[in-house]
């Protein structure tokens, strides 16, 4: 039986660059189906961040085609691009937390932007902070948190709205073993609930820790990743 799942992300013949530099990704093809959990493994500078931020912007590449949720990004207007972006959660390496807001307010930001009333925002914020183990930090600002706590907060902010697509750039790089396990478990639960996940990492051991398909990014293109024994830590 053929797989009829919706195509969430499709890149065909795309060339992408970081800022005004040379192309980092060349003649790049990628297809991500609904409900997938895909790891992109590559060294620093391989183009992982360029790939995720380009998708998150929902902007057409200079060369090739980017399709999101069935829509060609070269053929959409500003309003539709904004609607597509609201379906995407993004965890950036630099975290991009708002320093003037408390941890709880940072976490609640996607729900506030979505227009939810305060009484509907407080319960999921409290639940997620407890799940992440940062309940006691609700009133603190990002500058008062450790690097690991900030990364957990950024991850929570990206997932609190249950996005259709989550783009996670090195989401466990600042976490030790138990905290990384907690973060990966959260991503596994989110994926099982229906969110499509595209996770970029420099850690070649990560594919063995999650039930996810892995691809290796090198020389501007994707390659099959070496087979690894998967550990089902999400059971």
10-residue block means of pLDDT along the chain (235 residues)? 78 82 83 95 90 92 93 94 94 92 96 92 94 92 95 94 95 90 91 95 87 89 66 40
Where do the domains of the chain lie, and which CATH numbers do they carry?
1-87+164-174+194-225 (3.40.50.300), 94-162 (no CATH)
pLDDT of residue 153: 95
pLDDT of residue 3: 61
Q: Which single residue is written with the structure tokens 């994926």?
A: 191
E-strand stretches of 42-164? 63-68, 71-72, 88-91
First-residue to last-residue Cα distance in the chain: 27
SS3 state at 25 = strand
pLDDT of residue 211: 79
Q: Quick one: which of 34, 4, 66, 77 has its CA closest to 163?
A: 34
How far apart, in whole angstroms, are the C-alpha atoms of residue 120 and residue 143? Answer: 27
Whether the Cβ atoms of residue 76 and residue 83 lie closer than 8 Å to each other: no
pLDDT of residue 19: 66
């Amino acid at each position: 039986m053929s797989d009829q799942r919706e195509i969430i992300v499709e890149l065909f013949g795309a060339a992408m660059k970081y800022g005004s530099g040379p192309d980092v990704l060349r003649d790049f093809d990628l297809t991500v189906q609904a409900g997938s959990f895909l790891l992109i493994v590559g060294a620093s500078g391989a183009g992982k961040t360029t790939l995720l931020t380009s998708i998150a912007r929902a902007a057409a590449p200079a060369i090739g085609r980017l399709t999101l949720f069935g829509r060609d990004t070269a053929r959409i207007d500003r309003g539709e691009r904004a609607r597509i972006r609201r379906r995407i959660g993004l965890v950036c390496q630099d975290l991009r937390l708002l320093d003037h807001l408390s941890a709880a307010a940072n976490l609640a930001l996607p729900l506030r932007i979505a227009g939810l009333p305060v009484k509907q925002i407080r319960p999921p914020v409290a639940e997620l902070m407890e799940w992440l183990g940062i309940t006691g930090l609700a009133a603190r600002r990002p500058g008062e948190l450790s690097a690991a706590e900030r990364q957990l907060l950024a991850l929570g902010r990206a997932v609190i709205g249950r996005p259709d697509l989550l783009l996670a750039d090195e989401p466990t790089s600042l976490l030790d073993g138990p905290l990384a396990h907690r973060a990966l478990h959260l991503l596994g639960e989110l994926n099982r609930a229906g969110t499509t996940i595209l996770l970029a990492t420099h850690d070649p051991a990560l594919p063995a820790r999650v039930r996810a398909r892995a691809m290796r990014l090198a020389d501007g293109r994707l390659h099959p990743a070496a087979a690894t024994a998967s550990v089902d830590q999400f059971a």
